[in-house]
Structure 1
């Protein structure tokens, strides 16, 4: 019996769509397998990179420990050399005093000899006692000259040794300066990494920017006008920065003595009579302390924080238009050494 025409069309359509559906599923499965292979290869490469970074960090820590030991040895050697110079200086002074005393005695003996010689010249003949006196004085003068020569030799040796020690101290000073310069360079590298992280965390957020070696917040983001109390939004904006500081604390070696200085700045507009602060100095300091206390509450070590207030005396924008005033009302974060 013949099927109706609409049933024949439906059966024909089902037969045409099924192979295409199977092909699409197969293609999708291949794409998923390829993406899984790419993800596995990426994970393996990332694991290898992290392993290499840990090895480099371990090597850097070992080199820093070695440098710290060399610096301590140089300081100890410098102290020993300073003690030796002090001892030689005292010995030099004693020798100089003895030399002066011997010179005075030699001059006195010479004067006595001159007096005796003058007296003997007046006499027509020298008696035995006068000759013995002259011989004794001559012997004393020769002995004194010999002692004076030995003192001069000892003094010259002492001066030469002092010059040698001073040269060693100069070399140690240069080594210490080089070590300090290395510490500053290492801190600058960590500062650059820290600010780079803050830029990545905060992105293009309005009122936040990097100026030189400082990270700058406009205080309108953190505080209400003439207030030193952090707003909820301001405290929330500080949380990722606190996390970055805590991570930095774990990464910087212990031999680098660093702090994060929080500087408060205001605009030059005087505070009103009903303001809770007497001056912009007090307001800027209170705001810096509020930020420091917030960081401490978020887990930042207090020993790594410092608050400072500068009032309106260090503007970064000229003029009294609203935009310039807003830029001068700011909190600055500066990573520096103690």
Structure 2
């Protein structure tokens, strides 16, 4: 009677403690996942922005160099124009002097006319050269204005890119908050259903001492379901799995479709090696085959395959270390855990 009371006390205490601990661990994992997701999207946005900024800065530098070159050419043309204007002024001065000589001495009119004609031609050439230079200056001014417009457009594009980056950062932060709320709700809902499911299993399986709760899992000793060295569920085990299937079918009707849950069936063996001459070569194969047999039996009783997962752990996850018969018996087990996909 004392043993039975202690066992009942453990049953009343551990599920609530395990539920709280599981909820805390899942919440921490969820927060870390959301933080990593936000960091990933933010790093992507920052990388894209840095790429755009680098490209825009390169274009601005190139346009600045072109602008400096055009300004230098403009200064050279202005110098040429000044030189031509000086020559034009000198030519006009010489022409005026010759015209004065004409007025003073009519006898030298022929020679003066020839000089005037020569200077007039030179003056016309100088004027044409000056006009071409002015046209080139005007063209350069137009090119400089176009470059300035391009620089202004690039600066506007840079400002728009920075604005989009700020908006994206705000959207990522908002998405993270919404994900936190949604996932926290899902974790709480699944924890509640897990608690109800374990409570139901305790009701229908509590009469057996070889089926117990360990942490956040229900544990069947292998002897409950399988004969020694075998992976086919024996008749006695089928009766116990029928009860489990009924509880799972009831759970499937209660949990909303948007909650992605599974019942994970884990097979474990003791540390004693197999002979290798039988159906299974090692404990890996035996533990996996037993987990698969449980899953297939539950499916045959109507449980949805998408809510079941089978895994084999061999002898590498023992409940207790040691090689005594009692310890080996406890380590040979099938564990059931309700978790998320």
- For residues 1-338 of structure 1, the aligned pairs below 5 Å read 93=52, 100-101=58-59, 103-115=61-73, 117-118=75-76, 121=79, 125-127=83-85, 128-129=130-131, 130-338=133-341
State the TM-score, normalized to the length of structure 2. 0.66
Q: Which has the higher contact order (CA 8 A, sep 6+)?
A: 2
* Cα distance in 1, alignment partners of residues 253 and 67 from structure 2: 78
| Aligned 8 A contact 1:265 1:309 in 2 | yes
RMSD across aligned C-alpha pairs, in angstroms? 2.9
CA apart distance, 1:150: 3.0
SS at match of 1:206: coil
Cα shift readout 1:54-82 (whole Å, capped 9, x = no counterpart): xxxxxxxxxxxxxxxxxxxxxxxxxxxx9
Structure with greater Cα Rg: 2
* Cα distance in 2, alignment partners of residues 119 and 154 from structure 1: 34
* Cα distance in 1, alignment partners of residues 242 and 291 from structure 2: 16
**Consecutive unaligned residues in structure 1, runs of 5 or more:** 1-81
CA apart distance, 1:312: 0.6
CA apart distance, 1:202: 1.4
| Aligned 8 A contact 1:218 1:327 in 2 | yes
* Cα distance in 1, alignment partners of residues 56 and 330 from structure 2: 72
SS at match of 2:83: coil
Q: How many residue pairs end up in the alignment?
A: 251
* Cα distance in 2, alignment partners of residues 112 and 104 from structure 1: 12
* Cα distance in 2, alignment partners of residues 116 and 251 from structure 1: 83
Cα shift readout 1:82-126 (whole Å, capped 9, x = no counterpart): 9xx99xx79x95x98677556535523432431453475488624
Which moved further from structure 2: 298-307 or 209-218? 298-307
Seen in structure 2, the aligned counterparts of structure 1 residues 163 and 289 have a Cα distance that, compared at 3 Å, is same
| Aligned 8 A contact 1:265 1:310 in 2 | yes
Cα shift readout 1:182-237 (whole Å, capped 9, x = no counterpart): 11221111011101111111114121111122111110221111111222211112
Which moved further from structure 2: 146-155 or 245-254? 146-155
| Aligned 8 A contact 1:259 1:335 in 2 | yes
**Consecutive unaligned residues in structure 2, runs of 5 or more:** 1-40, 86-129
CA apart distance, 1:172: 1.4
Seen in structure 2, the aligned counterparts of structure 1 residues 97 and 295 have a Cα distance that, compared at 3 Å, is closer
SS at match of 1:307: strand
CA apart distance, 1:293: 2.0
CA apart distance, 1:242: 1.3
SS at match of 1:216: strand
| Aligned 8 A contact 1:113 1:134 in 2 | no
